[in-house]
Amino acid sequence: MAVTARGARTRAALVAAARTVFERDGFLASRLTDITAEASCSVGTFYTHFASKEEVFLAVMEAAQDDMLHPGMPHVEDGADPVAVIEASNRAYFDSYRRNARLMMLQEQVATIDDDFRRQRLERGETFVRRNAKGISRLQDAGLVDAHLDPLMTARALSGMVARLAYTTFALGLDLAVDDLVETSTRLWANALGLDAKPG
Amino acid sequence: MAVTARGARTRAALVAAARTVFERDGFLASRLTDITAEASCSVGTFYTHFASKEEVFLAVMEAAQDDMLHPGMPHVEDGADPVAVIEASNRAYFDSYRRNARLMMLQEQVATIDDDFRRQRLERGETFVRRNAKGISRLQDAGLVDAHLDPLMTARALSGMVARLAYTTFALGLDLAVDDLVETSTRLWANALGLDAKPG
Amino acid sequence: MAVTARGARTRAALVAAARTVFERDGFLASRLTDITAEASCSVGTFYTHFASKEEVFLAVMEAAQDDMLHPGMPHVEDGADPVAVIEASNRAYFDSYRRNARLMMLQEQVATIDDDFRRQRLERGETFVRRNAKGISRLQDAGLVDAHLDPLMTARALSGMVARLAYTTFALGLDLAVDDLVETSTRLWANALGLDAKPG
Amino acid sequence: MAVTARGARTRAALVAAARTVFERDGFLASRLTDITAEASCSVGTFYTHFASKEEVFLAVMEAAQDDMLHPGMPHVEDGADPVAVIEASNRAYFDSYRRNARLMMLQEQVATIDDDFRRQRLERGETFVRRNAKGISRLQDAGLVDAHLDPLMTARALSGMVARLAYTTFALGLDLAVDDLVETSTRLWANALGLDAKPG
DNA sequence: CATGAATGAGGCTTCATTCAT
DNA sequence: AATGAATGAAGCCTCATTCAT
């Protein structure tokens, strides 16, 4: 696949076109002919590069991964204020979600349609959750967070809280200000973990 | 519409059949003929009662409302332990979600497909959020919860947290125990609000 | 059928409703439910009075007959100016066509759909033609019109000319002034027959 | 559309098949599957070339235009007997109408059903009328026809006369001999214009 | 006489995928 | 590699007509 330079170019054009069309019309309503028209090539060509509509969707999501893989909760460096870290992390999440809002919607849509993709989506969420759980563990080790909390479940709940707020705002279209979202979720996250804001 | 008893009976049969078929096959894969076969009537009859597949779906959701409108956060009665109330409320939510898991999945699926339904789904969520916000307000008035928290945003975040956990577990199929879900979400909810567990 | 007073009233309401709906939507696009809704009765009732959509259409046309049976070419009375008679006749035709334009269109539409009705429409036209032919015969007997003309064919041609002008104007919607139509058709009719305008 | 030779061939086959089926069954009764069966292709292929039954009908009418655009009233050449020209023109019209009788019926049928087509049909008629009006003008300039006649209205009336005779005969099925039709219409046309038959 | 729910055959249309060029 | 016409299964929906109440 895509061994020649021309092939690679065509494939890239198709992925870009697919993203445009998917974002505009949704996965279900998008037709292959719309995508190939957008990419200025024929349907036949599509099938030299992808086996199905699902496959090009996967390629679109993969190409968008980098930007969508926001920092989550970064490693807590010695001396850094944990609450500030959480805030930065949350803001990064909301910003990235907003930039990729249509794609995030698509992710949810396809997850409800395609079983394979549902599993992938679940795994992607859990990867993220595990990273956050590690952060929480570290805070527990540092004595900053109640040791009774199960890091994994806690991470799942708190990440889910933020993810749902972003979904409601950017996918479902509830008009909320990002600053408010960041403030509320950070404060609740900190409270839930029992963290105090950095003392002066 | 449905002015006679016979008409009402047929309509009810169609709604029940639709729920069965939707839950079995999903909204998209469900065909009108499956629904009418399940209801033992003709396709034509379907159209005397509903204008489209979307419309019967709405009717199904409406009929399921009662069970799905779990108590949420009940009024805080004098002397009642707020944390116990939250726990009961969360448990009720998870139980109801499990009972209607397939329907909740459908709700998300259709929201990604149909714009009208997306708006309705948003409104349904907000109704629920407003109810919880009122509960938080009461706790603030009683001096049990930090007055700095915005009740509406807080309710949105915490309700979302619980809803997302339920979705991940029952819709996406992550295998988590309900007891753990209840415990974690209750503890985080209480921490986030700054509530103490009932003192001995 | 329609033995009671109530029955007669319902039937009349249905005919009136059918005319309204047919004129508004055309024969094909009109649904029985629209007609019964307009008549404020049930579909079942429709079938107490008519056997089919075609039958109620016939009833509508019959009820409208009187007004649509314009004078044609009246008997030539001794001493009457034949050209003036033709003019009056033509004007009466165009006026009546305009009043019943939608119905005339319907007549053409149904004639292209229903074979029985096509034959009826043909017969109706011929009746009219025969009447005009008789008038021409009389003018020939009176020595006012060239005896070489076949009265029947001539009547067919000239009636057709007027009918077509009316159709083009009122049914197809070409915007022509009735006065011009009357003037042109009368002059051509007179010329064609070899009649002179009444000499002073 | 139809960029390849193969595509053009299929399209042509569909148009021919559509004409066959339309002429056999009428526009309304014709089913797409009949057309594609006649053209030996799949239904899907139909939609590669036409968006609807209406559209293929338009293509059929367009393809038939050439034969149906009979000479009308040809240019009056010096020395040509105008009445003979009119007679030739009328005969050509009736012959062409007879050859395309089913199509002419369809034209009327579809004009009563489809608004776009009604407008096109009107325009087609007017094009024809304008051509005849020019011929009449020329005869007026040559002093052969009464200058008081409005060429356009006169052409409309006389063309309509001939068209209606053809319609009644070939579409509605009144059994008249073409020779009689030609004779009558030519004589009336000549009389109406005030032309004398070529003097010996 | 009136009611209106029930019927069901069958039309139109869509679109992912294939394959000959 | 690219092309784009061809495929055809399958779904939604319409509406004149019937009939039990």
Domain boundaries of chain C, sorted by first residue: 5-62, 69-193
pLDDT for position A78: 56
The set of residues, in sequence order, having a beta carbon less than 8 Å from that of A57 and lying 6+ positions away, is A18, A22, A27, A106, A110, A117
Q: What pLDDT is attached to residue B98?
A: 93
CATH class of D5-63: mainly alpha
Q: Which two tokens stand for residue C113?
A: 């759909």
- Going by C-beta distance under 8 Å and a sequence separation of 6 or more, which residues neighbour residue B127? none
Q: Which residue of A has its CA nearest to B123?
A: A174
Continuous H helices in C30-114: 32-38, 43-49, 53-68, 82-99, 101-113
pLDDT at residue C71 is higher than 90: no
Q: What is the pLDDT of residue A74?
A: 53
3-state secondary structure of B42: coil
The reported pLDDT for the residue numbered B200 is 39
Residues C167-183 have pLDDT tens digits of 999 999 999 999 999 99
Angstrom CA distances, A168 to A55, A174, A184, B4, D151, stand at 27, 6, 15, 42, 71
At residue D15, the 3 state secondary structure works out as helix
Residue C7: predicted pLDDT: 81
Among C162, C106, C174, CA closest to D122: C174
pLDDT tens for chain B, 200 residues: list them. Answer: 667 999 999 999 999 999 999 999 999 999 999 999 999 999 999 999 999 999 999 999 989 887 776 554 555 455 678 999 999 999 999 999 999 999 998 998 999 998 889 998 999 899 989 999 999 999 999 999 989 999 999 999 999 999 999 999 998 889 999 999 999 999 999 999 998 655 43
Interface of B with A (CB under 8 A): 26, 28, 105, 108-109, 111-113, 118, 121-122, 125-126, 146, 149-150, 153-154, 156-158, 160-161, 163-165, 168, 172-174, 176, 180-181, 184-185, 187-189, 191-194
What's the confidence (pLDDT) of residue C114?
A: 87
Measure Cα distances from A178 to A155, A186, B125, B149, C101 in Å.
21, 12, 19, 16, 64
Rounded Cα–Cα distance for residues B161 and A159 (Å): 8
Q: Can you give the distance from the CA of residue C26 to the C1' of nucleotide F12 in angstroms?
A: 25
Under a CB-based contact definition with an 8 Å cutoff, are residues A165 and A66 in contact? Answer: no
Q: What is the pLDDT along chain A (200 residues), one digit of tens a residue?
A: 456 888 889 999 999 999 999 999 999 999 999 999 999 999 999 999 999 999 999 999 988 887 776 554 455 455 678 999 999 999 999 999 999 999 998 998 999 888 888 898 899 899 989 999 999 999 999 999 989 999 999 999 999 999 999 999 999 999 999 999 999 999 999 999 998 655 43
Tokens of B31: 């065909």
Distance D29 CA to E3 C1' (A): 33
CB D37 within 8 A of CB D95: no
| CA B44 / C1′ F14 distance in Å | 9
User: Domain A69-193: which CATH class?
Assistant: mainly alpha
> Which CATH superfamily does the domain covering C5-62 fall into?
Homeodomain-like (1.10.10.60)
Shortest CA–C1' contact from C3: which nucleotide?
A: E1
Q: Do chains D and A touch (3 or more CB pairs under 8 A)?
A: no
Residue-level pLDDT at D68: 73
Per-residue pLDDT at D79: 64
Backbone phi, psi, residue C38, to 5°: -60, -35
Give yes or no for residue C42 having a pLDDT over 50: yes
Return d(Cα B56, Cα B62) in angstroms, integer: 10
Across C68-79, average pLDDT: 56
pLDDT at residue number B75:
53
Q: What is the pLDDT of residue C65?
A: 80
What confidence score (pLDDT) does residue D200 get? Answer: 40
Q: What is the pLDDT of residue C40?
A: 95
The pLDDT of C15-43, averaged and rounded, is 95
Task: Give me the pLDDT at residue A176, please.
Answer: 96
- Structure confidence at residue C74 (pLDDT): 53
d(CA D81, CA D78): 9
- Total-model pTM: 0.86
Residue A79 confidence (pLDDT):
64
Weakly modelled stretches of chain D, pLDDT under 70: 1-2, 69-79, 196-200
Of C146, C164, C191, the CB nearest to D160: C164
Long-range contacts from B129-133, C-beta under 8 angstroms, 24+ separation: B129/B155, B129/B156, B129/B159, B130/B155, B131/B72, B131/B73, B132/B72, B132/B73, B132/B158, B132/B159
Class of domain A5-60: mainly alpha
What DSSP character marks residue A105?
H
- Fold entry, domain B5-57: Arc Repressor Mutant, subunit A (1.10.10)
| Euclidean distance between CA atoms B189 and B86, whole angstroms | 8
The predicted-structure confidence for B141-199, as pLDDT tens digits, reads as follows 999 998 999 999 999 999 999 999 999 999 888 999 999 999 999 999 999 999 865 54
